Homo-oligomer: A and B are copies of this chain.
């Protein structure tokens, strides 16, 4: 169950402040002083990473009000996080925080502002750096200084990288899954088109659509989700799953609503996208979608430094970049560039490439591919048994020395 903690005044990177930042979070497992793993959720994810019993499932202490967050996303990494799973909650104290700007209980556009009305677009613009700083603030409240690891996928992977850049002494291992140092131009374009779908929906109304008597911009948000959904899948997986088949009579949705459209099939893939988009509009806020995609688009690991390598140079921990061959949202090549930069910054690094045609979604739907390298990276760093660097084809899996100097890597750089 989600807890919500108020962490006081918070100054965003844009320069604006709010009086009291509230952060919704979940924790799993017990903190032993050295076993905290921060998991960073993706764009539309939430703090609810696992169905494992949440250790924030308490009330009556001085931390966090237990709340039931309506409409929360399902446990998005339940196959990876839990007792006995790759991120083992019997071993690690797992923390996941809903990022500011989102809509699952943390402060953001749909949450109430100081006047007890929803913030709407008066909520300050957020950045990935704000997420990291907010997480740091919450971890302070939880008594967590150094993190054993930060793990995140997609824009959550940018969040994880931001930890290595912003708080280089505070984290021992960073796993950046299906992510990149920055978004490419094609994805920037599609995100901008998705936002435009929302802002041109008349029901968006400049971001002011809250209240029971107001329609929300469901058409625009649904369109944004459809575009996003295509970005998460690969040509191969879409083709295999749906082909060109027409949907049956009991398919979701009315199909095309123009007379001519009815002559042509309503295809299974369209029905699938519609179904998903429709359910998405019941669980996600349109303004939050604008805020979070802007944060993702704006993120640039090198910002404030000359290069990715310099941004990572102060990081004393180890980095695992995990990428997927069928992912065109965050490509293998982008992870390769990231890994090379990290090595240039003297960060012991492995770039583990998973052969998959699931597209970007692979990191969510292939726990069997993602789990083992994550598990062993958390346990033993880049020398972990199932961690395979792409440049290390000939050696034994999880072999030696992926730092630029190929020196053996110690399992623990942060004694006790």
Contact = CB atoms under 8 A, between A and B. Distances in A.
B260 A121 contact: yes
Contact of A261 (B263, B294, B331): B294
A192 interface: yes
A241 B235 CA distance: 25
Contact of A264 (B199, B202, B294, B300): B294
A238 interface: yes
Interface string A233-265: 111001101111000000000001111110111
Interface string A189-219: 1101101110111100011000000000001
A182 to B, nearest CB: 7
Among all A-B residue pairs, the 4 with the closest Cβ atoms: A185-B238, A125-B263, A200-B219, A192-B270
A188 interface: yes
Interface string A109-128: 00000000000011111000
B260 A189 contact: no
Interface in A269-291: 269-270, 273, 290-291
Given A185-B239, A238-B185, A263-B125, A192 B290 contact: no
Interface in A164-200: 182-186, 188-190, 192-193, 195-197, 199-200
Contact of A186 (B223, B239, B258, B294): B239
A264 B197 contact: no
